[in-house]
Amino acid sequence: MDEPSEIIWAYRGIGPFSRNNKADGVWAVYATLKLFKNEFGEFGNKISALIGFELIKHGKTPESDLKEIDLGIILQDSSSETNDLAFCECKTYKSFTEKDIHRMKVIGDEFPGAILTFATLNEQLNDTEKNLLIGLVKYFQSGKSNRPRNPVLILTGKELLPEEFDGALAEYKDQIKSYHRHTDFIGSLCELTVKKHLSVPNWWDIQEEKWNREMQRRSQIASIIKSLRDRL
């Protein structure tokens, strides 16, 4: 027993907070999860998440094929009853490396259609990160659907730590067309982030170019046929 005013008080962290700088890595993970929950987990949509897990392909040894995932998310759209699977690579204030890009490339090959998310608390990507991500985006820009084989979503500190509570995706929401908001909001968001951060043609640009080439080809064929008919 003693007088409280004479006791020297101290606080001790528990678990991951028990040692200095040991919890830094989870900041970006929880910020990413919060954004997904706030932006994609409303209006009856369901979201399930798994934090900090490892994937290994059947028949492989951990030493040769272990893939560490910072955050995995399954999203269910209540209106269309479709599911989206997202794998997230999260960095608090470090940079994405070639190893990170390679790991996500392997995961994309194993899970076609999965959204490959790169989340960082830094407010912008450096040139090395951009070049690495450009290669990954182009690698998965194939297929014939409304999305590339694997969409890439890029989130920075501006979205993960917005100045306003409801302003995380305000910039992109102003650009997304109304029908995209209801048919494929997250898919549209992927393409807008690629265009903004990497300054390369996104899936929409590629599909539009293909369409224009096809229309030009058909026009040329129609012109040739007309010319032949006029000669007969």
Whether 16 shows a pLDDT value over 60: the answer reads: no
| Pairwise CA distance, residues 17 & 27, whole Å | 12
Residues in the chain: 232
Per-residue pLDDT tens over the stretch 71-125 = 999 998 766 667 899 999 999 889 999 999 999 999 999 999 999 999 999 999 9
Per-residue pLDDT tens over the stretch 151-175 = 999 999 999 998 887 778 888 888 8
> What is the per-residue DSSP string for 140-203?
T--SSSSS-SS-EEEE-HHHHS-SSTT-TTHHHHTTS-HHHHHH-HHHHHHHHHHHHHH-S--H
CA-wise closest residue to 152 among 209, 205, 89? 89
| 74 neighbors 47 (Cβ within 8 angstroms) | yes
Would you state the pLDDT for residue 206? 74
Would you state the pLDDT for residue 181? 65
Would you state the pLDDT for residue 20? 64
Would you state the pLDDT for residue 153? 97
| 160 neighbors 168 (Cβ within 8 angstroms) | yes
Per-residue pLDDT tens over the stretch 129-142 = 999 999 999 999 99
Q: Considering the chain, what percentage of its residues have pLDDT values greater than 70?
A: 85
| Pairwise CA distance, residues 24 & 93, whole Å | 9
| C-alpha 177, offset from chain centre | 19
- Greatest C-alpha distance within the chain: 114
CA-wise closest residue to 187 among 222, 143, 149, 228? 149
